Structure 1
Amino acid sequence: MNRIDRSIEKYKQLFGDGVPATHVTDPDFQDILSHFIFGEIFYQGELNDKERELITLVVLATNQTLPQLTAHVSAALSVGLTPVEIKEAVYQCAPYIGFPKTLNAIDKVNEVFKAKEIVLPIESQKTVNEQNRSQKGLATQVEIFGDVIKKMQKNAPSNQTHIQEYLSAFYFGDFYTRSGLDLQTRELLTLCIVSALGGAEGQVKAHVQGNLNVGNAKEQLIDAITHCLPYMGFPRTLNTLACINEISPEN
């Protein structure tokens, strides 16, 4: 099957029989887009369609490309992702892109869920409470990054210790500890989010190492960033690939 036939098949699987509005006004551009994304990118590497749609959702949320996000929420359901998995992927964006942008994305997710008569709110995935969120968050940080985290907390200037506490309790305690997505998936999505932000190479490198530490192989990281390419462009993709190769050099 050639890439054009693959793109037609994949598009139908994701979105049904509809024709993109762009195909009426800009058919050449839509063909370039469809043939590349759905005929090449979706078939590059070993990610399954559920993983690809989770990645797509978080990058679109990060970019605030909300019309496309809406379409891909439906696509995510079509490939078998659960409402919980979709919501958790979007929630995972909050520490990186902030609450307002995450709320914008949640609003679009909820629009699709309501249209499909998915009952809201969906079941809670919370696993921590006010007494243990910081402790559980720190434990997750250490699981991903090692004991260097404790050294960072110990060595933080006194006027910045609150940031380290927020990292443990809020960033990792409130989000990473949630059920619905496993740690490997959350860390892979985080790499895609910080890559799509642009200008966050320090965090990209940290999360490349974090991914390797939790068992995501280098090839899996390359597959994930390749899937981000049509949504975040070549400059940010190449920057992330450079970070991956710096942390995990080719033999």
Structure 2
Amino acid sequence: MDDLFDNFGRIQKNDPEFHEIFKNFAFDEVYDHSTLTEKESVLVTLASLIACQSPKAFKKILLAAVNKYITPEEVKELLYQSVPYVGFGRAHNFFGVTIKVFDKKGIEMPLENRSKTTPENRRQKGRELQDRYFGAEMIQMMNDNAPEGQEHFNRFLEGFCFGDFYTRDGLNDQQRELITFVFIATLGGCENQLRGHTQGNLNVGNDKEKLVSAITVILPYIGFPRSLNALAIINEF
């Protein structure tokens, strides 16, 4: 998959030494220690680039990957999934970048609507997914223990995060939880949430090997400190 780095021609021309070092590590050595599929590798890479605010690298990799390793619909769902985790303030630029890439690739927009909920059932459907991912007892305990005046945050999780986004078509449960894990690991400083979504990944069928592979693939973009912090949490399970 070293073709993903082919669009970084300016670096190759002006700093061929770094280009060679990074390409050999990020697109050869790293992939030798990952069991992710090509699609999963692209998904976690793009997810990490969103969370670490690297629109130029995101654009270059997306140009090489869309319609080859990942579909336009999957890119759309990746963007949507990013919003409740990195915030629209961070995600906003990547919507614009994606529009430009799709236009260059001749991909007609808007893409098909993938929403599966209504304003009336979004919270119910979101709660059903929360229960399935994390266990009904744990979610109920979280709701019961919400401090007075802060209950609305749990309702936001039900309706917005899970109801509006996780219920959508385009990515399956395993893919959504994997990229969510990557968003949180890349952000750093969110260890409690990373623990919760490590368990969520295991509950939906992503094993520890897959999570370790995801951290392996994104290490070149997030660096060793955050990678090692994420590995420490994975190793608690």
On the 8 A contact 2:131/2:139 being kept in 1, the answer is yes
CA distance in 1, matches of 2:83, 2:100: 19
| TM-score calculated relative to the size of structure 1 | 0.91
Q: Report the 3-state secondary structure (helix = DSSP H, G, I; strand = E; otherwise coil) of the residue aligned with 1:38.
A: helix
User: In the TM superposition, what is the alpha-carbon distance from 1:15 to its structure 2 partner?
Assistant: 5.6
CA distance in 2, matches of 1:34, 1:42: 11
Residues 66-120 of structure 1, C-alpha deviations (whole Å, 9 max, x = no match): 1100011122215331100011012111011111221211111110001111111
On the 8 A contact 1:76/1:86 being kept in 2, the answer is no
Q: Report the 3-state secondary structure (helix = DSSP H, G, I; strand = E; otherwise coil) of the residue aligned with 1:207.
A: helix
CA distance in 1, matches of 2:145, 2:42: 40
| 1:21 corresponds to 2:7 | no
Matched to 2:228, the amino acid is L
On the 8 A contact 1:15/1:74 being kept in 2, the answer is no
Match of 1:166 among 156, 161, 168: 156
User: In the TM superposition, what is the alpha-carbon distance from 1:38 to its structure 2 partner?
Assistant: 1.1
Matched to 1:113, the amino acid is F
CA distance in 2, matches of 1:171, 1:224: 22
Match of 2:2 among 6, 11, 17: 11
CA distance in 2, matches of 1:45, 1:56: 13
Q: Report the 3-state secondary structure (helix = DSSP H, G, I; strand = E; otherwise coil) of the residue aligned with 2:28.
A: coil
Matched to 1:106, the amino acid is F
Aligned residue in 1 for 2:85: 96
5 Å matches for 1:114-125?
114-125=103-114
CA distance in 2, matches of 1:93, 1:121: 19
Q: Report the 3-state secondary structure (helix = DSSP H, G, I; strand = E; otherwise coil) of the residue aligned with 1:119.
A: coil
Match of 1:106 among 95, 118, 126: 95
Give the unaligned 5+ runs of structure 1: 1-9
On the 8 A contact 2:84/2:161 being kept in 1, the answer is yes
Matched to 1:146, the amino acid is G
Higher relative contact order (CA 8 A, sep 6+): 2
CA distance in 2, matches of 1:90, 1:40: 28
User: In the TM superposition, what is the alpha-carbon distance from 1:40 to its structure 2 partner?
Assistant: 1.2
Aligned residue in 1 for 2:214: 224
Count of matched residue pairs: 236
Give the unaligned 5+ runs of structure 2: none
Matched to 2:223, the amino acid is G
| TM-score calculated relative to the size of structure 2 | 0.96
On the 8 A contact 2:82/2:183 being kept in 1, the answer is yes
Q: Report the 3-state secondary structure (helix = DSSP H, G, I; strand = E; otherwise coil) of the residue aligned with 2:223.
A: helix
1:15 and 1:196, CA in 2 relative to 1: closer, same or farther beyond 3 A? closer
5 Å matches for 1:126-165?
126-147=115-136, 148-165=138-155
On the 8 A contact 1:58/1:193 being kept in 2, the answer is yes
On the 8 A contact 2:43/2:179 being kept in 1, the answer is yes
5 Å matches for 1:176-195?
176-195=166-185
Q: Report the 3-state secondary structure (helix = DSSP H, G, I; strand = E; otherwise coil) of the residue aligned with 2:235.
A: helix
Identity between Structure 1 and Structure 2 (%) = 43
| 1:208 corresponds to 2:205 | no
Q: Report the 3-state secondary structure (helix = DSSP H, G, I; strand = E; otherwise coil) of the residue aligned with 2:149.
A: helix
Residues 151-209 of structure 1, C-alpha deviations (whole Å, 9 max, x = no match): 21122122011011001100111111111000111001100000000111111111111
User: In the TM superposition, what is the alpha-carbon distance from 1:45 to its structure 2 partner?
Assistant: 2.0
